[in-house]
Structure 1
């Protein structure tokens, strides 16, 4: 059978060639067709690998899908009622968090301290989602948030680079605000109760994820400590000793992991 399943052309016997010669001639033609076919396939694959077309399409679709999660996905999928934190506590201890409040999805007006709002302004605000959790002992409270921006991948990469290079995620004047809900252990969780925090500018999604933790008894904190510092071995600050850095970092990591798991099925190619 010839290439592309076309019928073989009728070959009139060539005078002077015996059966063996005719067989060799047909074999040679078939070999040439195979080589040409492989060359075309190989060239197409090489072009795809060199241009990264499939990877770019997948990345673009994932970025777009992530940006629409705030109105396409139930809140329980973004902020599960309970979150397990295996190994997330100090010394690798397990943690478990229970959601106690979900803020109405809103814009960003008044949702951040002025300096943090200014730092985030270049990527815009499409929607802000927040939920507050408490640990199993109801000693700590942590607000985790997802800021859905209006930015494209380049703008998100630029903001991530600025946060990284200028260490904006370590500045105590750029803390996220907590979400306090009446009648919950977080009722007294205000700006002065913020003890540890983390801010992550994602580059594979138009999202800024953050978490901020504090004590459930409403005690004030004079010197908050960023979670990356509070979780270091040997850290001696009050937030570090209480494990509040682990609360913020552990919960934020797992909410981000859940976010990516939610995006993946929508962008997977059919097998």
Structure 2
């Protein structure tokens, strides 16, 4: 059997397509293509894909909602913080701006100023070099300071009975100085007991005995007219209250006479105790003298 010839003059293989129908790629229509054909997605795979897309969309929307809530929360916190800062600034301004002192504040200012004087003043300010007193015939005379003793514990500078009372009421410290009168006949020791506040001083004063044989211990200074002034030489003792201070006073003779050496029928020199009391009262007055209070919280201008 002879092979058929194609119109091109080449022999046509058996099984070729009919003439007039050509394969665009030049291959016979009867041959299987080497390229694998992908069938379209099935309905199940499309459902899974749509589910994944919906999950991703939902997750994205949830993240957006969370972000909006977070931003809103931060905004609320910032706003509240701003309000707090603003209110604090306004309150601080009102508190720190200059304004007139109230009566209570003025009184507190005086008490605090007086209570600091035993530390803020020099000892020469508490015990001046000279103090006035009235002598015989009410003539003005001057007592001269002989010396200032070191600061002492309250119990160490007074008699034991007095020291126990001071300790019970919170005595902080005790300052002492010794004076002589203008004629160098009398010697006086002034003791300033520092209580924690005025209320403690009033309470301690109420418990002190009226015995004029006990009180502050004298301070003698060797080489001076007061070198013989000791506890036995005290003729009388007393005290006065001033602010948080108890100001003790004791007086005696510069020649060393003891209290026991003076007969009961013999009276003390008429100038001794008035001079001692005048000196002690002046020191108490200086310590408790009310200070000048500024009219405003920041000075003299409100």
TM-score by length of 2: 0.58
1:99 paired to 2:183: no
1:157 paired to 2:185: no
User: Is the 2:130–2:142 contact (alpha carbons within 8 Å) kept by the matching residues of 1?
Assistant: yes
Note closer, same or farther for the CA distance 1:171–1:113 as it changes in structure 2 (3 Å cut). same
1:75 positional shift: 1.6
Cα distance in 1, alignment partners of residues 138 and 148 from structure 2: 28
Worse overlay, 141-150 or 118-127: 118-127
Which residue does 1:64 correspond to in 2?
Answer: 112
Which of the pair is proportionally richer in helix?
1
Worse overlay, 153-162 or 192-201: 153-162
Cα distance in 2, alignment partners of residues 67 and 198 from structure 1: 22
Note closer, same or farther for the CA distance 1:175–1:106 as it changes in structure 2 (3 Å cut). closer
Cα distance in 2, alignment partners of residues 109 and 161 from structure 1: 18
Worse overlay, 120-129 or 55-64: 55-64
Of 105, 121, 144, the residue aligned with 2:190 is 144
Note closer, same or farther for the CA distance 1:55–1:196 as it changes in structure 2 (3 Å cut). farther
Which residue does 2:278 correspond to in 1?
Answer: 250
Which residue does 2:225 correspond to in 1?
Answer: 185
Which residue does 1:238 correspond to in 2?
Answer: 267
1:129 positional shift: 1.1
Q: Deviations over 1:108-131 (max 9, x none)?
A: 242111111122223222221111
Cα distance in 2, alignment partners of residues 223 and 58 from structure 1: 52
What secondary structure sits across from 1:147 in the alignment?
Answer: strand
Can you give the 5+ residue segments of structure 1 that lack an aligned partner in the other structure?
A: 1-52, 225-235
Of 147, 152, 156, the residue aligned with 1:110 is 156
- In the TM superposition, 1:65-80 aligns within 5 A as 65-80=113-128
Cα distance in 2, alignment partners of residues 161 and 91 from structure 1: 35
1:207 paired to 2:245: yes
Note closer, same or farther for the CA distance 1:257–1:201 as it changes in structure 2 (3 Å cut). closer
Which residue does 1:197 correspond to in 2?
Answer: 237
Can you give the 5+ residue segments of structure 2 that lack an aligned partner in the other structure?
A: 1-100
Cα distance in 2, alignment partners of residues 258 and 133 from structure 1: 17
User: Is the 2:198–2:245 contact (alpha carbons within 8 Å) kept by the matching residues of 1?
Assistant: no
Which residue does 1:131 correspond to in 2?
Answer: 177
User: Is the 1:84–1:95 contact (alpha carbons within 8 Å) kept by the matching residues of 2?
Assistant: yes
Cα distance in 1, alignment partners of residues 202 and 105 from structure 2: 18
Cα distance in 2, alignment partners of residues 250 and 127 from structure 1: 23
CA RMSD of aligned residues (A): 2.4
Q: Deviations over 1:16-52 (max 9, x none)?
A: xxxxxxxxxxxxxxxxxxxxxxxxxxxxxxxxxxxxx
Cα distance in 2, alignment partners of residues 65 and 218 from structure 1: 40
1:242 positional shift: 4.0
1:91 positional shift: 4.7
Cα distance in 2, alignment partners of residues 193 and 268 from structure 1: 47
1:146 positional shift: 1.0
1:215 positional shift: 0.6
What secondary structure sits across from 2:256 in the alignment?
Answer: coil
